Homo-oligomer: A and B are copies of this chain.
Amino acid sequence: MARTPVADALTAQAPVAHIRICGWVRTRRDAKGFSFLEINDGSCLANIQCIVDEALPDYAVIKDVNTGAAVDVRGELVESPGKGQKWEVRAAALTLLGGADAETYPLQKKRHSDEFLRTIAHLRARTNKFGAAFRIRSEAAYAIHEFFRERGFFHVHTPILTGSDCEGAGEMFRVTTLPASGASSTPVPPSGNRFEADFFGKECNLTVSGQLEAEALAMGLGKVYTFGPTFRAENSNTARHAAEFWMIEPEFAFADLNDDMELAEAMTRTVVTRVLERCAADIELFDRFVDNGLIERLRTIADQPFARVSYREAIELLKASGRKFDYPVSFGLDLQTEHERYLAEEHFGKPVIVYNYPKSIKAFYMRLNDDNETVAAMDVLVPRIGELIGGSQREERLDVLEARIREMDQNPDDYWWYLDLRRFGSVPHAGFGLGFERLLMLLTGIANIRDVVPFPRTPGNLEF
Protein backbone atom coordinates (compact mmCIF):
# COMPACT_ATOMS: atom_id res chain seq x y z
CA MET A 1 0.00 0.00 0.00
CA ALA A 2 1.49 3.33 -1.08
CA ARG A 3 2.04 5.88 1.66
CA THR A 4 0.14 9.16 1.55
CA PRO A 5 2.25 12.26 2.23
CA VAL A 6 1.01 14.19 5.27
CA ALA A 7 0.57 17.27 3.07
CA ASP A 8 -1.96 15.35 0.94
CA ALA A 9 -3.75 13.75 3.89
CA LEU A 10 -4.27 17.13 5.56
CA THR A 11 -5.82 18.60 2.42
CA ALA A 12 -8.09 15.62 1.70
CA GLN A 13 -11.55 16.41 0.37
CA ALA A 14 -13.27 13.47 2.06
CA PRO A 15 -12.57 10.74 4.61
CA VAL A 16 -10.38 7.84 3.45
CA ALA A 17 -11.14 4.32 4.62
CA HIS A 18 -7.60 3.00 4.19
CA ILE A 19 -4.61 5.25 4.45
CA ARG A 20 -0.93 4.74 5.21
CA ILE A 21 1.12 7.46 6.87
CA CYS A 22 4.89 7.18 7.37
CA GLY A 23 6.93 9.73 9.27
CA TRP A 24 8.80 10.78 12.35
CA VAL A 25 7.11 11.24 15.69
CA ARG A 26 7.30 14.79 16.98
CA THR A 27 5.44 14.08 20.22
CA ARG A 28 3.55 11.30 21.89
CA ARG A 29 0.88 11.92 24.50
CA ASP A 30 -0.64 9.03 26.41
CA ALA A 31 -4.20 9.35 27.69
CA LYS A 32 -6.61 6.90 29.21
CA GLY A 33 -7.07 4.12 26.66
CA PHE A 34 -5.27 5.97 23.82
CA SER A 35 -1.99 7.45 22.69
CA PHE A 36 -1.82 10.50 20.46
CA LEU A 37 1.06 10.75 18.01
CA GLU A 38 2.00 13.92 16.15
CA ILE A 39 3.69 12.71 12.96
CA ASN A 40 5.72 14.75 10.48
CA ASP A 41 7.07 13.44 7.18
CA GLY A 42 8.70 16.60 5.82
CA SER A 43 6.13 17.12 3.06
CA CYS A 44 4.80 20.16 4.94
CA LEU A 45 5.20 22.05 8.17
CA ALA A 46 2.10 20.59 9.83
CA ASN A 47 1.98 17.26 11.63
CA ILE A 48 -0.86 14.82 11.37
CA GLN A 49 -2.37 13.44 14.54
CA CYS A 50 -2.69 9.68 14.81
CA ILE A 51 -4.75 8.05 17.54
CA VAL A 52 -3.60 4.65 18.71
CA ASP A 53 -6.09 2.65 20.74
CA GLU A 54 -4.50 0.58 23.51
CA ALA A 55 -6.71 -2.29 22.37
CA LEU A 56 -4.61 -2.59 19.16
CA PRO A 57 -2.43 -5.71 19.04
CA ASP A 58 0.50 -3.47 18.06
CA TYR A 59 0.06 -1.22 21.08
CA ALA A 60 2.92 -2.91 22.97
CA VAL A 61 5.51 -1.04 20.85
CA ILE A 62 4.15 2.33 21.97
CA LYS A 63 6.64 2.61 24.83
CA ASP A 64 9.44 2.86 22.23
CA VAL A 65 7.58 5.34 20.03
CA ASN A 66 9.45 8.38 21.33
CA THR A 67 10.15 11.77 19.86
CA GLY A 68 12.29 11.17 16.76
CA ALA A 69 11.16 7.58 16.18
CA ALA A 70 10.01 6.59 12.69
CA VAL A 71 6.65 4.88 12.36
CA ASP A 72 4.36 3.41 9.73
CA VAL A 73 0.68 3.87 10.59
CA ARG A 74 -2.21 2.32 8.67
CA GLY A 75 -5.75 3.26 9.45
CA GLU A 76 -8.65 5.50 8.60
CA LEU A 77 -8.53 9.20 7.81
CA VAL A 78 -11.44 10.80 9.69
CA GLU A 79 -12.59 14.28 10.53
CA SER A 80 -10.90 15.48 13.67
CA PRO A 81 -12.99 16.71 16.57
CA GLY A 82 -9.86 18.50 17.86
CA LYS A 83 -9.05 22.13 17.26
CA GLY A 84 -6.63 23.36 14.60
CA GLN A 85 -6.80 20.33 12.34
CA LYS A 86 -9.40 19.07 9.96
CA TRP A 87 -8.26 15.47 9.66
CA GLU A 88 -6.71 12.82 11.88
CA VAL A 89 -5.84 9.16 11.53
CA ARG A 90 -7.45 6.44 13.58
CA ALA A 91 -4.74 3.78 13.58
CA ALA A 92 -5.54 0.18 12.73
CA ALA A 93 -1.90 -0.90 12.69
CA LEU A 94 1.27 0.69 14.03
CA THR A 95 4.82 -0.33 13.07
CA LEU A 96 7.95 1.07 14.66
CA LEU A 97 10.46 1.46 11.79
CA GLY A 98 13.34 2.95 13.76
CA GLY A 99 13.52 4.04 17.39
CA ALA A 100 15.12 7.16 18.86
CA ASP A 101 16.48 6.73 22.34
CA ALA A 102 15.04 9.42 24.64
CA GLU A 103 18.37 9.82 26.43
CA THR A 104 20.59 10.26 23.40
CA TYR A 105 18.42 11.70 20.60
CA PRO A 106 19.56 15.34 20.44
CA LEU A 107 16.29 16.85 19.17
CA GLN A 108 14.05 16.58 22.20
CA LYS A 109 10.94 18.73 22.16
CA LYS A 110 12.28 22.14 23.19
CA ARG A 111 13.78 25.07 21.37
CA HIS A 112 17.40 24.65 20.46
CA SER A 113 19.86 27.44 19.63
CA ASP A 114 20.90 27.90 16.02
CA GLU A 115 24.51 27.45 17.14
CA PHE A 116 23.73 24.03 18.63
CA LEU A 117 21.73 22.96 15.60
CA ARG A 118 24.67 23.77 13.31
CA THR A 119 26.67 21.10 15.16
CA ILE A 120 24.01 18.54 14.18
CA ALA A 121 23.33 19.81 10.68
CA HIS A 122 22.66 16.21 9.62
CA LEU A 123 19.55 16.20 11.83
CA ARG A 124 18.31 19.77 11.72
CA ALA A 125 16.10 19.28 8.64
CA ARG A 126 13.88 17.41 11.14
CA THR A 127 13.03 20.64 13.00
CA ASN A 128 10.17 22.96 12.06
CA LYS A 129 12.48 25.88 11.34
CA PHE A 130 14.96 24.12 9.08
CA GLY A 131 12.35 21.98 7.40
CA ALA A 132 10.56 25.19 6.48
CA ALA A 133 13.78 26.92 5.38
CA PHE A 134 14.73 24.08 3.06
CA ARG A 135 11.24 23.77 1.57
CA ILE A 136 11.37 27.49 0.81
CA ARG A 137 14.84 27.03 -0.66
CA SER A 138 13.50 24.38 -3.03
CA GLU A 139 10.48 26.41 -4.08
CA ALA A 140 12.56 29.58 -4.60
CA ALA A 141 14.95 27.66 -6.84
CA TYR A 142 12.06 26.34 -8.89
CA ALA A 143 10.46 29.77 -9.18
CA ILE A 144 13.75 31.10 -10.57
CA HIS A 145 13.88 28.39 -13.23
CA GLU A 146 10.24 29.02 -14.09
CA PHE A 147 10.74 32.77 -14.36
CA PHE A 148 13.68 32.59 -16.73
CA ARG A 149 12.14 29.88 -18.85
CA GLU A 150 8.92 31.86 -19.24
CA ARG A 151 11.07 34.72 -20.55
CA GLY A 152 12.92 32.57 -23.07
CA PHE A 153 16.20 32.21 -21.15
CA PHE A 154 18.17 28.98 -21.46
CA HIS A 155 19.73 27.42 -18.38
CA VAL A 156 23.46 26.93 -18.97
CA HIS A 157 26.19 25.33 -16.87
CA THR A 158 29.40 27.34 -16.73
CA PRO A 159 32.57 25.68 -15.43
CA ILE A 160 33.36 25.39 -11.72
CA LEU A 161 37.04 24.66 -12.38
CA THR A 162 38.69 27.64 -14.00
CA GLY A 163 42.11 28.65 -15.21
CA SER A 164 41.41 32.35 -15.10
CA ASP A 165 42.07 34.22 -11.89
CA CYS A 166 40.92 37.53 -13.30
CA GLU A 167 38.71 38.68 -10.53
CA GLY A 168 40.87 38.80 -7.41
CA ALA A 169 43.14 35.80 -7.26
CA GLY A 170 43.80 36.25 -3.55
CA GLU A 171 40.31 35.16 -2.68
CA MET A 172 40.21 32.00 -4.75
CA PHE A 173 40.56 28.36 -3.75
CA ARG A 174 43.18 26.43 -5.66
CA VAL A 175 42.36 22.95 -6.98
CA THR A 176 45.11 20.42 -7.40
CA THR A 177 46.09 16.78 -7.59
CA LEU A 178 49.68 17.52 -6.51
CA PRO A 179 50.77 16.41 -3.04
CA ALA A 180 50.06 18.84 -0.20
CA SER A 181 52.86 21.29 0.46
CA GLY A 182 54.79 20.51 3.60
CA ALA A 183 54.49 16.81 2.84
CA SER A 184 56.61 15.79 -0.10
CA SER A 185 57.43 19.05 -1.79
CA THR A 186 58.59 18.85 -5.37
CA PRO A 187 61.15 21.25 -6.81
CA VAL A 188 60.11 23.74 -9.48
CA PRO A 189 60.61 21.94 -12.83
CA PRO A 190 63.05 23.34 -15.41
CA SER A 191 60.11 24.73 -17.42
CA GLY A 192 59.39 27.06 -14.54
CA ASN A 193 55.76 25.89 -14.56
CA ARG A 194 55.01 24.82 -11.01
CA PHE A 195 51.84 23.16 -12.21
CA GLU A 196 53.41 21.13 -15.00
CA ALA A 197 52.62 17.85 -13.23
CA ASP A 198 49.20 18.99 -12.01
CA PHE A 199 45.97 17.63 -13.48
CA PHE A 200 45.45 20.50 -15.90
CA GLY A 201 49.13 21.38 -16.38
CA LYS A 202 48.44 24.86 -15.10
CA GLU A 203 47.00 26.60 -12.09
CA CYS A 204 43.35 25.75 -11.46
CA ASN A 205 40.94 27.63 -9.21
CA LEU A 206 37.33 27.39 -8.13
CA THR A 207 35.11 29.85 -9.94
CA VAL A 208 34.00 33.08 -8.33
CA SER A 209 31.51 33.80 -11.12
CA GLY A 210 30.26 32.23 -14.33
CA GLN A 211 29.64 35.61 -15.94
CA LEU A 212 32.33 35.68 -18.61
CA GLU A 213 31.42 32.21 -19.86
CA ALA A 214 27.70 33.04 -19.66
CA GLU A 215 28.36 36.08 -21.86
CA ALA A 216 29.93 33.81 -24.46
CA LEU A 217 26.85 31.58 -24.45
CA ALA A 218 24.47 34.56 -24.60
CA MET A 219 26.28 35.64 -27.78
CA GLY A 220 24.94 32.47 -29.41
CA LEU A 221 21.79 31.53 -27.52
CA GLY A 222 20.60 35.09 -26.96
CA LYS A 223 19.37 34.77 -23.38
CA VAL A 224 20.92 32.48 -20.78
CA TYR A 225 21.27 32.13 -17.03
CA THR A 226 23.48 30.09 -14.74
CA PHE A 227 22.50 28.60 -11.39
CA GLY A 228 25.58 27.13 -9.79
CA PRO A 229 27.96 27.15 -6.85
CA THR A 230 30.63 29.84 -6.51
CA PHE A 231 33.44 30.14 -4.02
CA ARG A 232 35.31 32.77 -2.02
CA ALA A 233 38.33 31.94 0.12
CA GLU A 234 37.84 35.07 2.23
CA ASN A 235 38.84 34.43 5.80
CA SER A 236 35.91 36.38 7.23
CA ASN A 237 33.57 35.07 9.87
CA THR A 238 30.44 37.13 9.40
CA ALA A 239 26.75 36.26 9.32
CA ARG A 240 26.66 37.20 5.63
CA HIS A 241 29.60 35.31 4.12
CA ALA A 242 30.11 31.68 3.27
CA ALA A 243 33.01 30.10 1.38
CA GLU A 244 30.58 28.20 -0.85
CA PHE A 245 27.31 29.70 -2.06
CA TRP A 246 24.99 29.52 -5.06
CA MET A 247 24.60 32.24 -7.63
CA ILE A 248 22.11 32.95 -10.39
CA GLU A 249 23.66 34.88 -13.28
CA PRO A 250 21.53 35.84 -16.30
CA GLU A 251 23.19 37.32 -19.38
CA PHE A 252 21.19 38.55 -22.35
CA ALA A 253 22.00 39.97 -25.74
CA PHE A 254 20.49 43.09 -27.30
CA ALA A 255 19.90 44.57 -23.84
CA ASP A 256 20.94 47.74 -22.03
CA LEU A 257 20.99 48.91 -18.43
CA ASN A 258 17.25 49.60 -18.40
CA ASP A 259 16.49 46.11 -19.61
CA ASP A 260 18.79 44.80 -16.90
CA MET A 261 17.01 46.73 -14.15
CA GLU A 262 13.63 45.62 -15.47
CA LEU A 263 14.74 41.98 -15.48
CA ALA A 264 16.19 42.11 -11.95
CA GLU A 265 13.06 43.73 -10.55
CA ALA A 266 10.69 41.38 -12.36
CA MET A 267 12.65 38.34 -11.22
CA THR A 268 12.73 39.43 -7.58
CA ARG A 269 9.06 40.31 -7.47
CA THR A 270 7.97 37.15 -9.30
CA VAL A 271 9.97 34.86 -7.02
CA VAL A 272 8.74 36.63 -3.87
CA THR A 273 5.14 36.47 -5.11
CA ARG A 274 5.29 32.77 -5.91
CA VAL A 275 7.04 31.77 -2.69
CA LEU A 276 4.53 33.78 -0.63
CA GLU A 277 1.74 31.93 -2.39
CA ARG A 278 3.21 28.44 -2.48
CA CYS A 279 4.99 28.33 0.89
CA ALA A 280 2.39 30.20 2.93
CA ALA A 281 2.58 28.05 6.07
CA ASP A 282 6.38 27.98 6.10
CA ILE A 283 6.65 31.74 5.58
CA GLU A 284 4.13 32.30 8.35
CA LEU A 285 6.34 30.33 10.73
CA PHE A 286 9.20 32.75 10.05
CA ASP A 287 6.91 35.75 10.39
CA ARG A 288 5.77 34.52 13.81
CA PHE A 289 8.93 33.16 15.34
CA VAL A 290 11.94 34.59 13.51
CA ASP A 291 11.19 37.95 11.94
CA ASN A 292 8.00 39.80 12.87
CA GLY A 293 6.77 41.81 9.90
CA LEU A 294 8.34 39.49 7.32
CA ILE A 295 5.13 38.90 5.38
CA GLU A 296 4.33 42.59 5.17
CA ARG A 297 7.84 43.34 3.91
CA LEU A 298 7.58 40.61 1.29
CA ARG A 299 4.15 41.86 0.19
CA THR A 300 5.63 45.32 -0.35
CA ILE A 301 8.35 43.83 -2.52
CA ALA A 302 5.82 41.81 -4.51
CA ASP A 303 3.31 44.63 -4.98
CA GLN A 304 5.21 47.91 -5.34
CA PRO A 305 7.56 49.03 -8.09
CA PHE A 306 11.13 49.41 -6.90
CA ALA A 307 12.56 52.91 -6.49
CA ARG A 308 15.39 53.89 -8.85
CA VAL A 309 18.08 56.49 -8.20
CA SER A 310 21.44 57.16 -9.71
CA TYR A 311 24.48 56.64 -7.51
CA ARG A 312 24.96 60.43 -7.60
CA GLU A 313 21.46 60.99 -6.24
CA ALA A 314 21.97 58.24 -3.66
CA ILE A 315 25.07 59.99 -2.35
CA GLU A 316 23.09 63.23 -2.02
CA LEU A 317 20.28 61.45 -0.18
CA LEU A 318 22.74 59.91 2.25
CA LYS A 319 24.47 63.24 2.87
CA ALA A 320 21.13 64.97 3.43
CA SER A 321 19.89 62.22 5.76
CA GLY A 322 21.37 63.77 8.89
CA ARG A 323 22.51 60.28 9.79
CA LYS A 324 25.86 59.51 11.34
CA PHE A 325 27.30 56.54 9.45
CA ASP A 326 30.36 54.53 10.45
CA TYR A 327 31.75 54.78 6.92
CA PRO A 328 32.20 58.05 5.01
CA VAL A 329 29.78 59.07 2.26
CA SER A 330 31.33 60.72 -0.76
CA PHE A 331 31.13 60.44 -4.55
CA GLY A 332 33.70 57.86 -5.56
CA LEU A 333 33.40 55.71 -2.43
CA ASP A 334 31.52 52.44 -2.47
CA LEU A 335 28.24 52.16 -0.60
CA GLN A 336 28.47 50.12 2.60
CA THR A 337 25.73 47.89 3.94
CA GLU A 338 24.68 50.59 6.44
CA HIS A 339 24.17 53.03 3.54
CA GLU A 340 22.34 50.46 1.44
CA ARG A 341 20.02 49.52 4.29
CA TYR A 342 19.32 53.18 5.13
CA LEU A 343 18.22 53.81 1.54
CA ALA A 344 16.04 50.71 1.26
CA GLU A 345 14.66 50.53 4.79
CA GLU A 346 14.31 54.12 5.82
CA HIS A 347 14.42 56.48 2.90
CA PHE A 348 12.38 54.48 0.41
CA GLY A 349 10.84 51.84 2.66
CA LYS A 350 11.15 49.36 -0.20
CA PRO A 351 13.76 48.00 -2.60
CA VAL A 352 15.73 50.56 -4.56
CA ILE A 353 17.92 50.18 -7.61
CA VAL A 354 21.01 52.37 -7.61
CA TYR A 355 22.63 52.80 -11.03
CA ASN A 356 25.51 54.55 -12.80
CA TYR A 357 28.31 53.96 -10.31
CA PRO A 358 31.76 55.57 -10.62
CA LYS A 359 33.96 53.42 -12.83
CA SER A 360 36.75 53.50 -10.23
CA ILE A 361 34.81 51.21 -7.87
CA LYS A 362 33.41 48.80 -10.44
CA ALA A 363 34.73 45.98 -12.61
CA PHE A 364 36.43 46.45 -15.99
CA TYR A 365 33.69 44.74 -17.99
CA MET A 366 30.98 47.26 -17.11
CA ARG A 367 30.01 49.61 -19.92
CA LEU A 368 31.56 53.06 -19.74
CA ASN A 369 29.00 55.85 -19.85
CA ASP A 370 29.43 58.89 -22.09
CA ASP A 371 30.47 61.00 -19.06
CA ASN A 372 33.63 58.86 -18.99
CA GLU A 373 33.32 58.84 -15.21
CA THR A 374 30.55 56.35 -14.48
CA VAL A 375 29.63 52.89 -15.73
CA ALA A 376 26.24 51.41 -16.58
CA ALA A 377 26.13 49.34 -13.38
CA MET A 378 23.18 48.76 -11.09
CA ASP A 379 22.68 47.24 -7.64
CA VAL A 380 19.35 46.17 -6.19
CA LEU A 381 19.25 47.06 -2.49
CA VAL A 382 16.60 45.55 -0.24
CA PRO A 383 15.56 46.08 3.39
CA ARG A 384 17.43 43.98 6.01
CA ILE A 385 19.96 42.69 3.50
CA GLY A 386 21.45 45.59 1.59
CA GLU A 387 22.78 44.48 -1.79
CA LEU A 388 20.78 41.58 -3.21
CA ILE A 389 21.76 41.86 -6.86
CA GLY A 390 24.65 43.45 -8.70
CA GLY A 391 24.69 43.85 -12.44
CA SER A 392 25.55 45.98 -15.41
CA GLN A 393 25.40 46.51 -19.11
CA ARG A 394 28.61 44.93 -20.38
CA GLU A 395 31.19 46.82 -22.43
CA GLU A 396 30.65 45.68 -26.01
CA ARG A 397 33.21 48.03 -27.68
CA LEU A 398 36.50 46.23 -28.29
CA ASP A 399 38.75 49.28 -28.02
CA VAL A 400 37.13 50.60 -24.85
CA LEU A 401 37.26 47.17 -23.21
CA GLU A 402 40.93 46.67 -24.06
CA ALA A 403 41.76 50.09 -22.67
CA ARG A 404 39.90 49.30 -19.43
CA ILE A 405 41.79 46.00 -19.06
CA ARG A 406 45.09 47.85 -19.46
CA GLU A 407 43.96 50.49 -16.95
CA MET A 408 43.59 47.69 -14.38
CA ASP A 409 47.21 46.65 -15.15
CA GLN A 410 46.05 43.44 -16.72
CA ASN A 411 47.04 41.83 -19.99
CA PRO A 412 44.40 41.76 -22.76
CA ASP A 413 45.97 38.51 -24.04
CA ASP A 414 44.68 36.74 -20.94
CA TYR A 415 41.19 37.67 -22.13
CA TRP A 416 41.62 36.58 -25.75
CA TRP A 417 38.36 34.63 -25.97
CA TYR A 418 36.38 37.23 -24.03
CA LEU A 419 37.63 39.89 -26.41
CA ASP A 420 36.72 37.66 -29.38
CA LEU A 421 33.09 38.18 -28.37
CA ARG A 422 33.66 41.87 -29.21
CA ARG A 423 35.65 41.10 -32.35
CA PHE A 424 32.94 39.03 -33.96
CA GLY A 425 29.32 40.08 -33.98
CA SER A 426 29.49 42.15 -30.81
CA VAL A 427 26.17 43.37 -29.44
CA PRO A 428 24.95 45.45 -26.51
CA HIS A 429 24.23 43.05 -23.67
CA ALA A 430 23.67 43.00 -19.94
CA GLY A 431 23.45 40.72 -16.95
CA PHE A 432 23.53 40.47 -13.19
CA GLY A 433 24.38 38.20 -10.29
CA LEU A 434 22.00 37.21 -7.53
CA GLY A 435 23.34 35.49 -4.43
CA PHE A 436 20.83 32.72 -3.79
CA GLU A 437 21.48 32.61 -0.05
CA ARG A 438 20.93 36.38 0.21
CA LEU A 439 17.57 35.88 -1.47
CA LEU A 440 16.72 33.16 1.05
CA MET A 441 17.65 35.43 3.94
CA LEU A 442 15.25 37.97 2.46
CA LEU A 443 12.52 35.35 2.06
CA THR A 444 12.81 33.87 5.56
CA GLY A 445 14.17 36.65 7.74
CA ILE A 446 16.94 34.27 8.81
CA ALA A 447 19.85 36.52 9.78
CA ASN A 448 22.76 34.09 9.45
CA ILE A 449 23.76 32.64 6.08
CA ARG A 450 24.79 29.41 7.87
CA ASP A 451 21.11 28.70 8.48
CA VAL A 452 19.82 28.93 4.91
CA VAL A 453 22.39 26.40 3.57
CA PRO A 454 21.97 22.75 4.54
CA PHE A 455 25.69 22.21 5.20
CA PRO A 456 27.47 25.59 5.39
CA ARG A 457 31.17 26.05 4.62
CA THR A 458 33.04 28.77 6.52
CA PRO A 459 36.67 29.11 7.69
CA GLY A 460 37.49 26.03 9.78
CA ASN A 461 34.08 24.43 9.17
CA LEU A 462 34.03 21.45 6.83
CA GLU A 463 32.02 18.90 8.83
CA PHE A 464 29.39 16.73 7.11
Interfacial residues, chain A to chain B (CB-CB below 8 A): 3, 5, 7, 22-25, 41-43, 68-70, 72, 97-101, 104-107, 120-127, 130-131, 134-135, 137-138, 141-142, 145, 149, 152, 154-163, 173-189, 194-195, 199-204, 206, 213, 216-223, 228-229, 231, 233, 235, 243-244, 246, 253-254, 396, 417-418, 420-428, 453-455, 457, 459-464
Tell me, rounded to whole Å, the shortest Cβ–Cβ distance linking A22 to chain B. 4
Cα of A418 to Cα of B123 in the assembled complex, Å: 10
Q: With A24-B425, A426-B70 as given contacts, are A138 and B154 in contact (CB-CB < 8 Å)?
A: yes
Contact A459 B200 (CB under 8 A): yes
Provide a sorted-by-A list of 9 A–B residue pairs whose CB atoms are within 8 angstroms: A22-B253, A42-B221, A126-B425, A141-B155, A159-B464, A173-B175, A183-B188, A200-B459, A213-B454
Q: From the candidates B179, B221, B231, name the one contacting A134 in the complex (CB within 8 A).
A: B221
List the B residue with the shortest CB-CB distance to A221: B42
Chain B residues, CB < 8 A from A427: 22, 70, 97-98
Contact B177 A182 (CB under 8 A): no
Chain A: interface secondary structure?
A: loop
Known contacts A123-B216, A175-B206; can you find 9 more A-B pairs with CB under 8 A? A3-B254, A98-B427, A122-B420, A145-B145, A157-B453, A161-B173, A181-B181, A181-B182, A182-B188
Cα of A22 to Cα of B177 in the assembled complex, Å: 45
List the B residue with the shortest CB-CB distance to A98: B426
Q: From the candidates B181, B229, B417, name the one contacting A160 in the complex (CB within 8 A).
A: B229
- Copies of this protein in the complex: 2
List the B residue with the shortest CB-CB distance to A5: B152
Cα of A222 to Cα of B217 in the assembled complex, Å: 37
Chain B residues, CB < 8 A from A228: 228-229
Cα of A253 to Cα of B5 in the assembled complex, Å: 11
Q: From the candidates B145, B178, B424, name the one contacting A123 in the complex (CB within 8 A).
A: B424
Cα of A199 to Cα of B244 in the assembled complex, Å: 12
Contact B176 A68 (CB under 8 A): no
Cα of A231 to Cα of B218 in the assembled complex, Å: 26
Chain B residues, CB < 8 A from A185: 181-182, 185
